[in-house]
Chains A and B, each alone.
Chain A
């Protein structure tokens, strides 16, 4: 399937792309547009104005996708806590990891183009997910 989002990928879009490929559509193909009107007819838009998979009711797009696709893995929701604060910094959650993740993603988009950011951020979020999964299993921070 085709998925479309705004160009200039930052933390929420990078996290969404990782989540889509991981939990919804392993064959996902991403296109980047500058305006909602440029979204191809056969693509699902995410993290864009007016898209169903956008910010809603104070949720960032990553949380919206988790809800919309009934993804209830607690480790994904723990990643969502961090992504939400990295994207919005509205202090809805306690996420000391968030400012670091925000800076790393901003830096990536300075040195890589959008498709490359998704590749690197894919590993980044896979690692973050695994860390949070083990933390939840152990009930403490993993070594």
Chain B
């Protein structure tokens, strides 16, 4: 498989473009390979999104370039995929814990939590390139919360 890399250098000041970039990279779920080098599995969407961020960096007075790469070995590729999977797995675990804890809440707080957790799940799925087992577990916990609400309604 192929990977898309964003290589960038952004001035330390002002901090606003750095924060915006950091937030966008987090939303896309990139894996950080080194300072100023992030990667995602290559597809039309990931390449396009990183290209826009490269332009943002350039607009903010920095330097950025986009590269398409192949891992030098299968082990290296597995390690990269594992890092991506582990990052979303941690997010799924947070959602699952919150869903389980919500069963102790009152009805309206539970409804609010359900809405928020479903939205969180959508966001995580958008950056989940190698779904870990935690994905299904989190989804089950959130849907169990929904079913419990229907039963009490």
A residues bordering B, Cβ < 8 Å? 6, 8, 10, 49-50, 54-58, 89-90, 99
Say whether B27 faces chain A, with CB atoms less than 8 Å apart. yes
Known: A49-B51, A55-B55. 7 other contacts (CB 8 A): A10-B44, A10-B48, A54-B52, A55-B56, A57-B59, A58-B20, A99-B122
Query: Are A56 and B59 within 8 A (Cβ)?
Result: yes
- In the bound complex, residues from chain A placing their C-beta under 8 Å from that of B23 are 90
> What would 26 A/B residue contacts be, using CB atoms closer than 8 Å?
A6-B48, A8-B44, A10-B44, A10-B45, A10-B48, A49-B51, A49-B52, A49-B54, A49-B55, A50-B55, A54-B52, A54-B55, A55-B52, A55-B55, A55-B56, A56-B59, A57-B59, A58-B20, A58-B56, A89-B27, A89-B123, A89-B126, A90-B23, A90-B24, A90-B27, A99-B122
B residues bordering A, Cβ < 8 Å? 20, 23-24, 27, 44-45, 48, 51-52, 54-56, 59, 122-123, 126
**Count, A-B residue pairs, CB within 8 A:** 26
In the complex formed, the residue of A with least CB distance to B54 is: A49
Q: CA A85 – CA B56 in complex, angstroms?
A: 18
Q: CA A58 – CA B126 in complex, angstroms?
A: 19
| Residue of B23, B27, B52, B56 with most partner-chain A CB within 10 A | B52
Q: CA A55 – CA B123 in complex, angstroms?
A: 21
Q: CA A57 – CA B57 in complex, angstroms?
A: 10
Q: CA A143 – CA B57 in complex, angstroms?
A: 44
In the complex formed, the residue of A with least CB distance to B122 is: A99
